[in-house]
Chain A
């Protein structure tokens, strides 16, 4: 079978390459002094852009949410709207793994420093901001980055009361392990996400992020995405995912 497939595929791509015009090295390689004059860019390094967006976000949220009050909900909407406008038109941030890891670490430190066990409005908004960045495609993540990001989010465990989420609790390692064990005994689903391409998988994870604050926490399970075992709770289309 392999021999047959190899022959067919080789023939197919050989024909495609034969049709394509060749590309000369000298046409493509920039000569001396051409770097700064090139029409092509990297005018706004992704790392710098990421830091900038993060800094703006933190600054805005610190200002807006320093004093808790009843108008927080309304304010949060307007802040999100204005922030969303601010980032409209800016470059798409594609992060390298190193940059993404740094961002995740900063985000985790930030969230931890702002919370003593319970997630407040500030942290919730922070997560929503990240969701907005992702959904507006201003921040594009690879599969593994998205999984890592989702894993971080998954540390916030929704505590239920009277059938609704009453609070979010940050889990330490032992709590996380217990949570995973509890959920695994309730429901275990192995979904085949291997056929999803990057965009589809990211969309799936975004849906999980997007419905973070959903209240239909009634189901949980373990799914496997490209070799990563991920705890998924609740439901199929919404909830919390923990990379395990």
Chain B
């Protein structure tokens, strides 16, 4: 496949190979809203095709794409007035609607994790997602987020400690029968 005219360092076939990976990242960046994720990916590709975003090979193509997707998602969310809080509420609503049809233990896990993640800062959530779910090294995450490796290490450490504390608290509340009361009423 031909190289892209205004981004000669990138081949369309390379983008195609990485598409699923960055689609998932886009979904994460827009709180799993399918339409916004699609818009984000479209915008990202458009930036690449038009040369608005230029790949300079200072990092891997994947890392660079993650970075472009993240910035694009932020732009789109800003324009659409989308907030994490409302997405979080939708997720809780979805959980409420499905409560009777699925396992209560899974509900506990999902609701507790969602609530705990909601307590983290945006950067901490991104780091946790990329480390735990995408198995990405901290150095790459630093490049994607545009911050120093030291900042990523510090935030990662804090996020882990906070999550551990919050999830432990939720577990204790569940044992005492107070968690469901708090989450679903």
Contact = CB atoms under 8 A, between A and B. Distances in A.
Interface string A128-165: 00000000000010101000000000000000000000
Interface in B104-153: 109-110, 113-114, 117, 121-123, 128-129, 132-133, 146-148, 150-151
Given A20-B34, A35-B49, A38-B46, A198 B122 contact: yes
A231 to B, nearest CB: 20
B47 interface: yes
A26 B59 CA distance: 26
B173 interface: no
15 contacts: A5-B160, A5-B164, A10-B132, A12-B113, A13-B133, A23-B34, A28-B45, A29-B45, A38-B46, A40-B42, A42-B50, A97-B146, A144-B147, A194-B154, A197-B122
Interface residues of B, number: 50
A21 B34 contact: yes
A6 interface: yes
B38 A5 contact: no
A2 B132 CA distance: 9
B122 A23 contact: no
A19 B32 contact: yes
A109 interface: no
A1 B129 contact: no
Contacts, number: 109
**What are the 4 closest A-B residue pairs judged by CB atoms, nearest first?**
A9-B132, A25-B19, A12-B113, A13-B133
Interface string B141-177: 0000011101100110010100110010000000000
A174 interface: no
A8 interface: yes
A8 B16 CA distance: 30
A139 to B, nearest CB: 13
Interface of B: 12, 15-16, 19-20, 23-24, 26-28, 32, 34, 37-39, 41-43, 45-47, 49-50, 52, 75, 78, 109-110, 113-114, 117, 121-123, 128-129, 132-133, 146-148, 150-151, 154-155, 158, 160, 163-164, 167
Interface in A16-64: 16-17, 19-23, 25, 27-30, 35, 38, 40, 42, 45
Given A20-B32, A29-B45, A226-B151, A8 B109 contact: yes
Contacts of A30: 42, 45-46, 49
B45 A5 contact: no
A195 B122 CA distance: 9
A221 to B, nearest CB: 21
A173 B76 CA distance: 41
Interface string A195-216: 1111000000000000000000
B160 A227 contact: no
A20 B35 CA distance: 10
B46 A22 contact: no
A125 B151 CA distance: 35
B23 A23 contact: yes
Contacts of A140: 78
A180 to B, nearest CB: 22
Interface in A78-107: 92, 94, 97
A74 interface: no
B160 A1 contact: yes
Contact of B113 (A9, A29, A35, A42): A9
A2 B135 CA distance: 13
A23 B52 contact: no
Given A17-B24, A23-B41, A226-B151, A8 B121 contact: no
